[in-house]
Structure 1
Amino acid sequence: MPAKAKWAQLADHIREQIASGQLAPGDKLPSTAQLKDEHGVSAGVVRQAILVLQMQGVVEGVHGVGVFVAERPDGQHQS
């Protein structure tokens, strides 16, 4: 089985930080440059991971401001 794509690994890492409470709703995510350096990936990998998380409703981007943890990330509440 092929290794998971780098963007998917990064998205999983951010999800884990949110689930553990390390990143709370409303918190700003590190910049693309910070994530790139921290994880040793390209800016494209960071953008892809953030895009997927935005589509899933986990984070919200504010143009010119940054990316923030959504107030109610999907999958964080169980019925």
Structure 2
Amino acid sequence: MSPSPKWVELAEHIRQQVAKGELSPGDKLPSTAQLCQIHGVSAIVVRNAMLTLKAEGLVVGVPGVGVFVAER
């Protein structure tokens, strides 16, 4: 079995942070550049992870402001 794509791993990491309470509703996620540096991935990896999490309703993006953990 091949390893998961990096964007899947990043999305799962953020899901786990929310589930554990490390990130709460309303918390702002690090910027794309910060996530790239922290996780050693490219911007497209972060973008794909954010698109997945937005589609799941876990996070919401505010243009020009950032991405936040959604209220549940």
For Structure 1 versus Structure 2, the TM-score category normalised by the shorter chain is over 0.9
User: So what's the TM-score if we normalise by structure 2?
Assistant: 0.99
Residue of structure 1 equivalent to 2:11? 11
Indicate the RMSD between aligned Cα atoms, in angstroms: 0.4
Q: Which runs of 5+ in 2 are unaligned?
A: none
The structure in which a higher percent of residues are helix is 2
**1:29-44 to 2 correspondence within 5 Å?**
29-44=29-44
Secondary structure class of the residue paired with 1:12:
helix
* Aligned equivalent of 1:59: 59
1:4-24: CA deviations, max 9, x gaps? 000000000000000000000
Q: Residue in 2 aligned with 1:22? A: 22
> What is the alpha-carbon distance in structure 1 between the residues aligned to residue 67 and residue 33 of structure 2?
13
Gaps of 5+ in 1: 73-79
Q: Provide the identity percentage.
A: 65
Structure 1 residue ranges (4+ consecutive) displaced by more than 2 angstroms after TM superposition: none
